[in-house]
Amino acid sequence: MAISSVLCQSATKLHAGTPKVNFLQFLTGLAILMYMNVTFIGMSGAGKSYLGQQFADRFQMQFFDIDREMEAAYGKPLQVILDEIGEARFLKEQSLQVTNMGVFDRTVVSPGGSIVYTEEAVQYLKANSVVIYLEVPLSVILSRTDTTVRGIVGLGHKTFAQLYTERAVLYRAAADYTIDPTNHDVDDLLESIYAACMLR
């Protein structure tokens, strides 16, 4: 579902009249605020780490970047890790970084773009967070991304454009909401994403 649609639905409900909120509704809203987790998915260069960190800072949440965690664990850049251990093990290690997070609250997660190739990790994120797909146009991503140093699974036997098309289907299937963040004010974008997450 597009975030703009959710916000329009919310606005319509508000204009129709402000409903009375009972104590149970109040507690439910408070619980969402206290325990909400958000995951940003998308291609390398979509802005997952940047928006994730901005979102976490804005709403006083923890930020967990899976790529940076893998680099810290191996003490090497992501591309070197991928070259040394191969794609199959890389995907397994990436998935373990996610599932080994355990129970987490008020956390923003930015997994690697290839996380959607691992069903276990996807289901874990969907069960524990609101998943936002950053659907950035291919041309924009190519202008931002140096594909020789990013550690992109599948790039050895497919073009970046082919991976983009292939993964877009998986991203949409995994996401609760989809948004193109390009050409949007960051502050407005963060507030819109937060509002959508609260409505989930």
28 in a structural domain = no
DSSP label at residue 156: T
Assign 156 a pLDDT band (cuts: 50, 70, 90): confident
118 in a structural domain = yes
137 in a structural domain = yes
Read off the tokens for 90.
Answer: 């890389």
Taken in order 148, 68, 193, 57, the sign of the CA dihedral is negative
When divided into structural domains, the chain yields a total of: 1
19 in a structural domain = no
Domain CATH for 170: 3.40.50.300
Contacts of 41 (CB under 8 A, 6+ apart): 48, 111, 113, 115, 116, 125, 131, 132, 133, 134, 171, 174, 175
CA distances from 168 to 7, 43, 83, 135, 138 (A): 23, 8, 24, 8, 10
172 in a structural domain = yes
Q: Which helix (H) or strand (E) element contains residue 179?
A: strand 177-179
50 in a structural domain = yes
Give the model's pLDDT for residue 20. Answer: 47
114 in a structural domain = yes
CB 114, CB 154: distance < 8 Å: yes
Domain interval for residue 162 = 3-10+37-199
31 in a structural domain = no
pLDDT in tens, 131-147: 999 999 999 999 988 76
pLDDT in tens, 10-25: 333 333 444 444 544 4
